[in-house]
């Protein structure tokens, strides 16, 4: 199974590094979209579905936290898991991102293994790069 | 004096961490004056506020681009050098303010960049100036900080 990824960061160098690291980790990408800020990301998302978003926080025009809020307001887009990847990672900032729906957090600078670990955890992919099936019984869920 | 030394240590550790992890560049502090070809700047504001500037030679910027992006020498452009330099400073500042006060939220400005040549050295009143060498490639960092930010 392969995935569509969206990387949102105002640094083209950082977008290139993240894309390269994801590719080298064995994570199977069908496509990898890039956006320079939250506004560009929303425009891309209006045209194409992605399975996971990796976003910086500190960006011009629409920053990462504002982007999370825009996603949360959209009935369809709010289902896409978002991983924040950022330099200024105070506990308050991290909590602010999680409160707005982020599913994972990576601090810059990072080792390639960190991106791989968080990506795999958030999207539910095993170490072999394959999707892990949810094998829980129905009665384990509290409906 | 003790605080200044501790602040310097935090800043240096942030610089080493960023350059080693993201650019595979190993820096050694040095006392020499260096020639630079570009400057990036960033401001931070939180429980304290200030700014950090990085002075880079073309040589170290090229090395950073080659290592970070896997580009060959003939593929490196002014834009890629600028991008790497700004991102390096962004990460240094983020790491530094987190070490300075992990309980406070800091705002970081978008880094600015200027292609400008000059010489950078250690002595500058009221500022923390650092010079680093990596096999003959040089990086300069200056930081200015005041208490009582936002």
DSSP annotation string for B86-131: HHHHHHHHHHHHHHH-TTS--EEPPPEEEEEEEEE-S--TTSEEEE
Query: How much is the ipTM here?
Result: 0.78
Smallest CA–CA distance, residue A86 to chain B, in Å, is: 8
How far is residue B93's CA from residue B87's CA, in Å, rounded to a whole number? 10
Contact assessment for residue B34 and residue B138, using Cβ atoms and an 8 Å cutoff: yes
Query: CB–CB of A87 and B106 under 8 A?
Result: no
List all residues of chain B from 111 to 150 with a beta carbon under 8 Å from chain A: none
Per-residue pLDDT tens for B73-100? Answer: 899 999 999 999 999 999 999 999 999 9
Question: Touching check for B95 and chain A: CB below 8 Å?
Answer: yes
Q: Mean pLDDT of residues grouped by 10 in chain A (143 residues)?
A: 93 92 87 96 96 94 96 95 88 90 92 89 69 50 42
Distance from the B123 Cα atom to the nearest Cα atom in chain A, whole angstroms? 29
Within a 13 Å sphere around the CA of A4, how many CA atoms are in the beta-carbon half? 9
CB nearest to A91's CB, from B65, B80, B102 = B102
* Residue A119 to residue B134: CA distance in whole angstroms: 33
What are the chain B neighbours of A16 within 8 Å (beta carbons)?
A: 69
Cβ contact, residue pair A92, B93, below 8 Å: no
- CA distance linking residue B109 with residue A63, whole number of Å: 12
pLDDT of residue B30: 92
Which chain B residues contact residue A38 at CB under 8 A?
A: none
Strands of the sheet containing A29-35, edge to edge, are A29-35, A3-8, A52-55, A82-86, A104-107
Please give the Cα distance from B92 to B56 (Å, whole number). 14
């Amino acid at each position: 199974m392969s995935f569509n990824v969206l990387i949102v960061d105002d640094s083209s160098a950082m977008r290139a590094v993240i894309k390269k690291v994801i590719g080298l980790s064995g994570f199977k990408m069908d496509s990898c979209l890039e956006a320079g800020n939250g506004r560009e990301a929303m425009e891309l998302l209006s045209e194409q579905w992605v399975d996971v978003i990796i976003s910086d926080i500190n960006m011009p025009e629409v920053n990462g936290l504002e982007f999370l809020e825009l996603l949360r307001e959209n009935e369809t887009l709010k289902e896409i898991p978002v991983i924040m990847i950022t330099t200024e990672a105070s506990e308050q900032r991290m909590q602010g991102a999680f409160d707005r729906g982020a599913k994972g957090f990576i601090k810059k600078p990072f080792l390639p293994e960190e991106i791989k670990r968080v990506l795999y955890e958030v999207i539910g992919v095993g170490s072999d790069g394959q999707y892990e099936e949810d094998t829980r019984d129905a009665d384990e869920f509290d409906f | 004096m003790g605080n200044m030394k501790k602040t310097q240590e935090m800043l240096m550790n942030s610089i080493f961490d960023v350059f080693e992890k993201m650019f595979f560049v190993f820096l050694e502090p040095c006392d020499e004056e260096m020639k630079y070809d570009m400057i990036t700047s960033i401001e931070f504001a939180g429980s304290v506020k200030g700014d950090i500037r990085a002075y880079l030679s073309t040589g170290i910027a090229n090395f950073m681009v080659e290592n970070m992006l896997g580009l060959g020498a003939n593929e490196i452009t002014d834009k890629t050098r600028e991008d790497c330099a700004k991102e390096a400073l962004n990460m240094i500042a983020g790491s530094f303010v987190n070490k300075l006060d992990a309980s406070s939220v800091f705002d970081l400005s978008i880094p600015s960049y200027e292609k400008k040549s000059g010489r950078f050295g250690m002595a500058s009143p009221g500022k923390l100036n650092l010079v680093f060498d990596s096999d003959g490639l040089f990086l300069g960092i200056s930081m200015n900080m005041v208490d009582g930010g936002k």
